Amino acid sequence: MHAITTDMWTSLSNCFFMGVMTHWLDDDFVAANKCLAARPVPGSHTADFIAGELEAVLDGVVRR
């Protein structure tokens, strides 16, 4: 089982980004994580935009 988190931040040059991470416990119950994507956010941080970006990232992971 994996947990997915997202985070949004602004760079020093005032560009906006969204990160998508996955988190899980390995076979020895040690916490692990991986960055699935760090994507630019060109416009508003609306729920529709975030949902669309998250869906696109997860679709790409499933298709790998």
- pLDDT, average across residues 5-18: 93
Q: How far apart are CA 50 and CA 4, in angstroms?
A: 13
SS3 53: helix
Q: What's CA 43's distance to the chain center, in Å?
A: 17
Q: Whole-number mean pLDDT of the chain? A: 90
pLDDT digits (tens, 9 = 90+) for 23-47: 999 999 999 999 999 999 987 888 9
